[in-house]
Structure 1
Amino acid sequence: MKTKKKDSFMDYIKANRKGSREAEIENHGHPVSFNRVHVSRKVYNRKRDKADAQRRLPYLFLTVCLN
């Protein structure tokens, strides 16, 4: 049987990627995604607006009731 030769260039690429990823996790504490689209906070987002309103509701409700 023939044995496959290892491609040293691909091993170099894999080792480089792994080292880069480990350094990134060490620096930031978690993996960083570079492929995600940046979402502007100025764009209308009903789901986020409703979540913000519900988070603030009890505090506002208590201040109105106490006065």
Structure 2
Amino acid sequence: MKTKKKDSFMDYIKANRRGSREAEIENHGHPVSFSRVHVSKKVYNRKKDKADAQRHLPYSIIIVCFN
């Protein structure tokens, strides 16, 4: 059975990416996503508006009627 050769170039690329990622986390304090699409604040977003409205509502009050 043949043994697979390790590609030194791929190891170099992986080590470079890992080092770059660690440096980025040190600079920003958290990982930064570059692939996320920037969402404009001006765009109407019903789901987010609804979540904000529910978050700012006062606690529900239970009304009990006694006869």
TM-score over 0.5 for the alignment? yes
> Displacement, 1:49?
1.5
Question: Match for 1:45: what amino acid?
Answer: N
Structure 1: segments with no counterpart, 5+ residues: 59-67
- Over the matched positions of the two proteins, sequence identity in percent amounts to 91
1:1-67 equivalence runs, <5 A: 1-58=1-58
Runs (4+) off by over 4 Å? none
Unaligned 5+ runs, structure 2? 59-67
> Higher helix share goes to which structure?
1
1:21 positional shift: 0.5
Task: Note closer, same or farther for the CA distance 1:56–1:2 as it changes in structure 2 (3 Å cut).
Answer: closer
**How does the TM-score come out when normalised to structure 2?**
0.69
TM-score by length of 1: 0.69
What is the CA distance between 1:53 and its match in structure 2?
Answer: 2.7
Which amino acid in 1 is paired with 2:50? Answer: K
Tell me how many residue pairs correspond in the alignment.
58
